[in-house]
A = this chain, B = another copy of it.
Amino acid sequence: MEAIAHAAGVSVPTVSRVLSGRGQVAPDTRERIRRLLDEQEYEARRSSAGRSTGLIQVVFPGICSGWETEHVRGIEQVAQEAGVGLVVSVLRRGEALRRGELMRTDGVILAATSGVYAAGARVPTVALDPVTGAAAGAPSIGATNFHGGRAVTRHLIGLGHRRIGLVTGAGALRCSRDRADGYRAALEEAELEEDPTLIVEGGEFTHRAGLVAGRRLLAHGHPPTAIVASSDTMALGVLEAARQRGVSVPGELSVTGFDDLPASRWSSPPLTTVRQPLQEMGRLAARTVLRLAQGRAVDHQDVELSTRLIVRESTAPPGS
């Protein structure tokens, strides 16, 4: 504060008045001081001076589906048990989190969010469903996406499918690539050749993206008999595309999801999918930031919790 006052050519009390909003300050003086506070990313000692704020924060790239909800449930449980509050923030891709926002909490969980934007703020950080290559040094928590992708694809191959489409997820996330790699591994071990025209980039884990990709695959000259979607919401979009085209599921087309959100049980037909323990991942992420916030060491740097194939009614042998 003294530095700011000096730089602005005013006394400390004047800076204080600007900060608190109490008392009279000339408009241009106020403006000059504000600019300096911004530039120097000034944070009141009160909130950053090593004292606990009793808060942890989770950052999502958006709140669109049940995925975030499940994570929040898990994280909130642990936060409540630990007596700390949970701040939920949305940081759209490309946006930078203002530094003050991070500094006001004891730790941050970056859920499917790039750590780059948080690099400067020295706040304990954990990556939940980490973005490729980001959040260097931060512990990460994911699921065995490769195994999950391989397991659903094997399931379809086991049913007799030979032309299996893939709708990929958000490209920046490691989980998307791992699922696609699992798909490829299953094809390879069954000695099925990969057909690049059956792989559609979904781009985002949304119903809309699944609908668009599903339409494209169904319009294929020699369409697949099964489609592996990279998330449940995408799979619901693929189901919608099938419905619109009058293609019956699972009779003419098998469809699979990934996540096992509650909605996957409520769709019709109920989705065959890969269960990710989203709540448990949230709980583990929360426990991990809390450990870091206490200055304790973490047991494991990078953890993947296991996924499990859930067979419901959206898959069947081809042409059944």
| Distance in Å: Cβ of A51 to nearest Cβ of chain B | 7
**Known A80-B89, A266-B207; contact A63-B69, beta-carbon cutoff 8 A:** yes
| Proximity string of chain A (51-64) to chain B, C-beta cutoff 8 Å, 1 when within and 0 when not | 10011010000010
- Tally A residues with Cβ within 8 Å of B: 38
| Proximity string of chain A (38-55) to chain B, C-beta cutoff 8 Å, 1 when within and 0 when not | 000000001100010011
Taking CB atoms, residues of chain B closer than 8 Å to A80 are 89-90
| Distance in Å: Cβ of A35 to nearest Cβ of chain B | 16
CA distance A236 to B264 in the complex (A): 12
- A258-275 CB contacts (< 8 Å) to partner B: 262-263, 266-269
B73 touches A85 (CB 8 A): no
| Proximity string of chain A (270-309) to chain B, C-beta cutoff 8 Å, 1 when within and 0 when not | 0000000000000000000000000000000000000000
Taking CB atoms, residues of chain B closer than 8 Å to A90 are 76, 80
State the number of copies, please.
Answer: 2
| Proximity string of chain A (87-106) to chain B, C-beta cutoff 8 Å, 1 when within and 0 when not | 11110000000100100110
Chain B: CB-nearest residue to A249: B268
Most chain B beta-carbon contacts within 10 A, residue among A236, A239, A269:
A236
| Proximity string of chain A (68-85) to chain B, C-beta cutoff 8 Å, 1 when within and 0 when not | 110011001000100101
| Distance in Å: Cβ of A253 to nearest Cβ of chain B | 15
A55 touches B87 (CB 8 A): yes
Chain B: CB-nearest residue to A75: B88
| Distance in Å: Cβ of A19 to nearest Cβ of chain B | 9
Taking CB atoms, residues of chain B closer than 8 Å to A87 are 55, 85-88
A85 touches which of B63, B76, B89 (Cβ 8 Å): B89
A63 touches which of B76, B105, B207, B236 (Cβ 8 Å): B76
Taking CB atoms, residues of chain B closer than 8 Å to A51 are 20
Task: Tell yes or no: A171 within 8 A of B by CB.
Answer: no
Taking CB atoms, residues of chain B closer than 8 Å to A47 are 46
CA distance A90 to B80 in the complex (A): 8
Taking CB atoms, residues of chain B closer than 8 Å to A73 are 63
| Distance in Å: Cβ of A46 to nearest Cβ of chain B | 5
| The 7 residue pairs across chains A and B that have the minimum distance between CB atoms | A268-B268, A236-B266, A85-B87, A88-B88, A63-B73, A46-B46, A263-B263
* 15 A-B residue pairings within 8 Å (CB atoms): A55-B55, A63-B73, A66-B69, A69-B69, A72-B88, A85-B101, A86-B87, A86-B88, A86-B89, A207-B262, A207-B266, A240-B266, A266-B267, A268-B268, A268-B269
